[in-house]
C-alpha cells in the first residue's frame, strides 16, 4: 500500500522526537555501544511520532540539508528503512548519489558513466538523469 503525503493529518511533535533531531552518536568500540543499547532501543517508541512528523512536514535530508516536502515522500510499507521513499530514493540511495556527485563533480556527468550497483536501486537512475538499460 502506498500512502501519499496529502492524505496525512498534521501532528504535534513530541519532545522526545525533537531531541532526536540533532542526535549523532559515534562509538569507539562495540562495548560502548552495547552499554547504551537498552536506551537506544527505547527510542524505537518514538517511531510513530517521527513518521507522522515526516508525513506532515517533510524531512531535512541529513546529507545535504535540503528540505524534502511531504508531497515528495511516499511510504510503501511498515519497514521504514526500505519503504520511506523521498524524491524517489531511499536515504542510502541519496547518500550514494551524494558521494558520486562529490567524486564526479555533478550528477549530470554520472549519466555518461558505467556504474556497478551491488543491489537493485529502482529510484537510482531518476536521481541523476541516468537512463535504465540492461548491463552486459
Instruction: Report whether 83 contacts 76 (CB < 8 A).
Output: yes
Q: Average model confidence (pLDDT) for the chain?
A: 78
The whole-number average pLDDT for the span 111-127 is 66
Distance CA 122, CA 124 (A): 6
pLDDT bucket at 126, cuts 50 / 70 / 90: low
* Residue with the larger pLDDT of the pair 54 and 11: 54
How is residue 121 written as a grid cell? 536501486
Domain spans in the chain, listed from the N-terminal domain onward = 1-87, 91-136
56-109 pLDDT per residue, tens: 999 988 777 889 999 999 999 888 888 889 988 888 888 888 888 888 777 777
Amino acid at each position: 500500500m502506498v500512502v501519499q503525503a496529502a492524505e496525512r493529518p498534521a501532528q504535534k511533535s513530541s519532545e522526545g522526537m525533537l531531541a532526536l533531531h540533532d542526535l549523532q552518536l559515534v562509538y569507539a568500540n562495540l562495548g560502548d555501544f552495547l552499554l547504551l543499547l537498552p536506551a537506544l532501543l527505547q527510542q524505537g517508541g518514538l517511531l510513530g511520532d517521527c513518521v507522522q512528523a515526516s508525513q506532515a512536514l517533510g524531512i531535512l535530508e541529513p546529507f545535504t540539508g535540503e528540505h524534502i516536502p511531504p508531497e515528495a515522500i511516499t511510504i510503501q510499507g511498515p519497514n521504514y528503512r526500505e519503504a520511506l521513499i523521498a524524491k524517489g530514493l531511499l536515504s542510502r540511495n541519496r547518500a550514494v548519489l551524494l558521494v558520486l556527485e562529490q567524486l564526479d563533480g555533478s550528477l549530470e556527468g554520472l549519466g555518461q558513466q558505467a556504474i556497478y550497483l551491488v543491489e537493485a536501486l529502482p529510484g537510482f537512475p531518476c536521481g541523476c538523469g541516468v537512463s535504465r538499460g540492461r548491463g552486459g
